Chains A and B, each alone.
Chain A
Amino acid sequence: MATLLDKTQQSNRSSPKWITHIVVPLFNLFVALMIAGIVIYFNGDDPIEALLLLIKGAFGNDEFIGFTLYYTTNFIFTGLAVSIAFHCGLFNIGGEGQAYIGGLGVGLVAIYLGHLSPFFVIPLCILAAVIFGASWALIPAYLQAKRGSHIVITTIMFNFLAAAVMTYLMVEVLIEPGQQAPQSREFNNNSWLPFMHEIFNFFGIQISVSSLNFSFIIAIISSLLIWLFIWRTHWGYEIRTTGANQKAAIYAGISPSKNIILAMVISGGLAGMVGINEIIGVHHRLILDFPAGFGFVGIAVALMGRNHPLGIFFAALLFGALYQGGAELSFDIPNITRDTMVFIQGLVILFSGAMEFVFKPYIENIYFFIKNNLLRS
């Protein structure tokens, strides 16, 4: 698993950073979109028209932008979660389950303490999201660190366990009394995170109503903190060293098991924060299946964003636009649905993750050809 970062960071020839960090990911995205375009074409629709509608549906007006950024918020959290595990050489597929359990933490606080002051209950909700998400990652992390159980398999198992736990709780325990649908009662509005349109309204600026809420700002702050943590603290350095070369880490006096657990706990905490955006940000009640695959989108986001918070922001924005634009798009082109976006997401993971070395040499060759032949004359 450590190979994942080694190969992206060291190149046999020194092509400039912007090639590996910008041109290659964009080219991989381009290939993924081309394949999706071909499928759309053969389904009898115009891919160019679809792309334009998608962009319009994602950024066409302030309402659409609001929804795009609302999805972006989720993808920043899950993208950061996957990336910090990658930095430690681990593949956390458990973002989905960690987000689910994180949401449970948020919901429990909001249900039982929701009547208290917002200044107390909202921070407590955020803390609960982090702690619950982190603890769901802790067991797989411990088993990887101390007993050598493969984290990929254990986190997959924990996704299913989270789904089972949540279904049980929603159906049997937390269900609103007298209701058929497995969802909790609506929280006291002391625990609701303010919507962005409410915040703007407070300052006298009118923007359209959307699901975008204060969680977006929490996501941006988290990105900055993760950047500081990974590149500016000795903990981050130890995690990266463990990820790059465990043996070297041991010789340097760094404990891999400590760092595996630390990285996974932070990863789980970040994934858990999806619960903030979804549960006290939008739904204001606990519902079934609210992570809706967002944990898996985090894999694509981290890979495309090259595990850097800035890259992750743009990759999350891209997927936010795909999800929101795709939803709008399906009104005009009924053949293109959320499933089509999942399909594009899979292609992005394939090309910028598993096949990242396929096109890179060609792009580098073109770069060196241009540099050596065309620019010299």
Chain B
Amino acid sequence: MLEYFTIFSLLIDSTLRIATPLVFAALAGLFAERSGVVDIGLEGKLLGAAFAAAAAAAITGSAFIGLFAGIICSVFLSLIHGFACVTHKGDQVVSGMAINIFVAGIGPTLALAWFKLGGQTPQLSGDARFSPLHFPGEEIIANIPYIGLIYSEILSGHNIFVYLAFILIPIVSWIVYKTKFGLQLRAVGENPEAVDTAGISVDWMRYKALIITGLLCGFGGAYISIAQNAGFIRNMSAGQGFLALAALIFGKWKPGLTLFACLLFAFTDALQARLQGVAIPGIGVIPVQFIQALPYILTVILLAGFIGKAVAPKASGIPYIKER
């Protein structure tokens, strides 16, 4: 029994780690999409922030400067998206894709020129990384069966980003549903004409949302390169931005449900790593690729309307052009 509980605790432990960048990116996407801007560039922003954070941390030796650089980079990419799609009414999907491809190319290019390590940053250690936080008394409590595991594996020993991601959920809920800004944000994504009539600038609202998107992706990207890993490698975001987008859709653009989707997707990933080559009695070996593909399959089924209906903010994807 305790053995299974240990496996379970370890699974939850890795689920939380894997979910963290997804939560940041999905909440980032939530702001953009709630304001009516489709953002398939989450992947690019995560990767860009991961690169900037690792590069800055490698040069300065400070993880905090790394985080700051990651955020600046991600916000800058968000502003390019805004400039193309909000100011110039360009196609949002094309712009997002452009940012993804652009970042996938420039990160390794700059890393190669700066560090001469074949498109990577040097391995980071010490202060250049965010290390896990250990709660007091972990060693003592760890010896108590069950409770010790919960305390040491699930509650303690994570990165500050992991805790931050989970604290963000109620904060984002509060911003989106209880503040004036949140009301305007939702309105601008559903009915920009009404917001415009009320004398609020649609473009400025969307820019504000995109800046928050950039900020959150900055945290997510920095987590990937200077907390979860120890440096930047080519294409290290590995589709997590798209997975976050899927989680956002799965969560029907609501913070709580989105968190649930992120945890679900992260759990499948954690499970996949654990089930590699393990035969389950009565079923046999499940191909890891099937478990890896599960989040995408679930999202397609949801989008098809077979399990509930995912309705996007009404104005999302449509550039707002003032009538003259």
User: A residues touching B (Cβ–Cβ < 8 Å)?
Assistant: 1, 3-4, 39, 43-44, 91, 93, 139, 143, 147-150, 152-154, 156-158, 160-161, 164-165, 167-168, 171-172, 296, 299-300, 303, 334-337, 339-347, 349-350, 353-358
Are B102 and A91 in contact, CB atoms less than 8 angstroms apart? Answer: no
- Given A93-B40, A161-B296, A354-B85, 7 more contacts at CB 8 Å? A93-B97, A153-B299, A153-B303, A157-B297, A346-B105, A350-B102, A354-B94
**Chain A residues, Cβ within 8 Å of B290:** 164, 168
Q: Give the shortest distance, in Å, between A322 (CB) and chain B (any CB).
A: 11
Q: Are B101 and A349 touching (Cβ within 8 A)? A: yes
Query: B246 to chain A: which residues have CB within 8 Å?
Result: 153, 157
Closest residue on chain A to residue B111 by CB atoms: A339
Contacts of B92 in A (CB 8 A): 354
Is B9 close to A, CB under 8 A?
no
Instruction: Assess the A143–B89 pair: CB atoms within 8 A.
Output: no
A339 with B94, Cβ < 8 A, contacts A161-B297, A168-B289, A354-B84 known: no
Q: Is the CB of A296 within 8 A of B101?
A: yes
- Distance from A236 Cβ to chain B, minimum over Cβ atoms (Å): 22
- Let me know if B94 and A4 touch, CB within 8 A: yes
> Least Cβ distance of B258 to chain A in Å?
15
Query: Within residues 238 to 273 of chain B, which ones have a CB less than 8 A from any CB in chain A?
Result: 239, 242, 245-246, 249
Query: 5 tightest CB-CB pairs across the interface, nearest first?
Result: A346-B102, A343-B105, A342-B105, A354-B95, A346-B101
In the complex, A150 Cα to B98 Cα: how many Å? 19
Give the secondary structure class of B's interface. helix
A-B contact pairs, 11 of them (CB 8 A): A1-B317, A43-B109, A93-B40, A160-B296, A296-B101, A339-B234, A341-B105, A346-B99, A346-B105, A346-B106, A357-B88
Q: Is B172 an interface residue (CB 8 A)?
A: no
Question: What total of chain B residues lie within 8 Å of the partner, measured CB to CB?
Answer: 52
Pick the contact of B99: A153, A154, A350 (CB < 8 A).
Answer: A350
Which of B95, B106, B242 has most A Cβ within 10 Å? B106
Pairwise interchain contact A346-B40, C-beta atoms closer than 8 A: no
Give the contacting residue for B94; candidates A165, A172, A349; CB below 8 A. A349
Query: A43 to chain B: which residues have CB within 8 Å?
Result: 109-110, 113
Tell whether B61 is near chain A: CB-to-CB under 8 Å. no
- B295 CB to closest chain A CB, in angstroms? 8
Interface string of B73-111 (1 = CB under 8 A from A): 000000010011100111111110111111111111110
Q: In this complex, what residue of A is CB-closest to B101?
A: A346
What is the CA–CA distance of A63 and B246 in the complex, to the nearest angstrom? 44
Contact B304 A343 (CB under 8 A): no
Q: B299 to A3, Cβ gap below 8 A?
A: no
Give the distance in Å from the alpha carbon of A172 to the alpha carbon of B99 in the complex: 35
- A357 B97 Cβ-Cβ under 8 A: no
Kindly report which residue of chain A lies nearest to residue B318, judged by CB atoms: A3
A158 to B103, CA, bound (A): 22
Please, which residues of chain A bring their CB within 8 A of the CB of B107?
339
